Amino acid sequence: MQSLSSNRKISKVIGFLLLTASIFWIGFRFGMQTSSVGLLDGIRGFTLILLSILLEALPFVLLGIIVSSVIQVFITEEMILKIMPRNHFLRLMFASLVGLIFPVCECAIIPITRGLIKKGMPIGPAIAFMLATPIVNPIVLLSTYNAFPTMPLMMPLRAACGLIGAVAIGALVGRAKSNDVLKESITTVCSCGEHCHNENSSGCQSKRKRDLFLDVLHHTSTELQGVGAYLIFGAIIAAGVQSFVPAKFLTGIGSGEITSILVMMGLAYLLSLCSEADAFVANTFLYQFSGASVLAFLIVGPMIDIKNTFMMLGSFKKRFTARLIITILVVCFALALASSLLIGGFYG
């Protein structure tokens, strides 16, 4: 068993190195030849983008992990179920609107969601919370409004589609059980010497405050190892794609309404931009793409991208992650297409 596990680890390392080398080869073969930037400058540019993604994401990931750890230690399942409405649809709506008072970016949201699910939050509202909060929050909505001065309706449209999408996706994937969703967590011993952080525990409330504080630190440190590794891996892929895969390959494809929506969804996934900044980048695509496809960019990006995919793989099971990604893409495509058909005139 140990040699099998070691072989799997070695396979993963080899796979990662091959993937990285492939990205570099694709970039240098196709991408660098189209620009005047030399090899060393290209690598510097890759490093610049990689480190900027990590430096921006790390504080928010730490914040999310701390919140998740606090939830693990101090919050009980009873507390969570008490504040949520009983009606299933209202639960989804409530979870989707939490971002208005608790704005969290997509880097921090995954560890928090994992912590909530571990503490007994139903899957549907947890996923709706995870998908809606990076979109339906005051900071992102204000950025969107500022980025589209000639389309003031883009902001409410983004909020509405984000909300509807999150509720729909939460309802579609919400029937899964937490055992089918969460990855097996590493068994750890907390500072009180007992295994006390299972899904139904009360969080060792009889412990001293010092021990509870140490528990939070312990969870934070352990989760950082897991989440942080996937964040770095996702950032490497995202930076490589941004640096070396020519976007013009994709942007040259999108001509019709459907293909342009698909192209913009693909770009949103590949660029891995934070939801505060993506509106300004999306604005630059208005020269080449329809408003509906730009809307698709704005709702897919905060929900799922390369970086988030790997962070989800670190927290959720592969089958559930794949099912979630497919559901997100289908729902967002449908919403963008519907907006094009229903209010196509708005986009000009």
Partner 1 sequence: MANCGMKILWLVILLALTVVLLTLLLSGDIILYLAPRMVPMVWFGLAVLVVLCVYQGHEIFRCFREKTQTLLPSLRLILFCFPILMMLTAMPDTNTPGSMSNQNVRLLSQVNSGSETIKIEEDSAALETNKASVYLPCILMDERAVFDPQADMFASYLLETAEALQDNTITLYGFVYRDDSFEEDMVLVSRQMITCCAADAAIVGFHVQVNPDIDLQLNEWIRVTGTIKTKNMLYYGTPYTFPVLTNGIILPCNAPTTEYLFINP
Read off the tokens for 27.
């970039």
At its nearest, how many Å lie between partner 1 and the CB of residue 28?
12
Query: Which C-beta is closer to partner 1: that of 50 or that of 328?
Result: 50
Q: In terms of CB distance, is 84 or 277 closer to partner 1?
A: 277
Which pairs count as long-range contacts for 317-321, CB under 8 Å and 24+ apart, including other chains?
317/180, 317/181, 317/182, 317/183, 319/180, 320/173, 320/176, 320/180, 320/181
Q: Which is nearer to partner 1, 94 or 280 (CB)?
A: 280
CA distances from 257 to 217, 289, 293, 301, 333 (A): 50, 8, 7, 19, 11
Nearer of residues 173 and 270 to partner 1, judged by Cβ? 270
Nearest CB to partner 1, comparing residues 91 and 218: 218
Q: Say which residues have a Cβ less than 8 Å from residue 206's Cβ, sequence separation at least 6.
A: none
Place of tokens 């494809």: 253
Q: What is the DSSP string of 217-278?
A: HHHHHHHHHHHHHHHHHHHHHHHHHHHHS-HHHHHTT--SHHHHHHHHHHHHHHH---TTTH
Closer Cβ to partner 1, 188 or 259, answer by number: 188
DSSP state of 207: S
Write down the residue that tokens 């809606």 correspond to.
Answer: 132
CB of 24 to partner 1, least distance (A): 12
Nearest approach in angstroms of CB 44 to partner 1 is: 5
User: What is the separation, in whole angstroms, between the first and last Cα of the chain?
Assistant: 62
The b-or-e profile of 200-233 (16+ CB within 10 A means b, else e) is: ebebbeebeeebbebbbebbbeebbebbbebbbb
Smallest gap from Cβ 204 to partner 1, in A, equals 17
Report d(CA 19, CA 27) in Å as an integer.
12
Q: How far is the CB of 53 from partner 1 (least distance, A)?
A: 5
Report in angstroms how near the CB of residue 223 gets to partner 1 at its nearest: 11
Nearer to partner 1, 202 or 221 (CB): 221
Sign of CA dihedral 153, 262, 171, 224: negative
The residue (of 167 and 212) whose beta carbon lies closer to partner 1 is 212
Shortest Å distance, C-beta 338 to partner 1? 25
Q: Closest separation between CB of residue 224 and partner 1, Å? A: 7
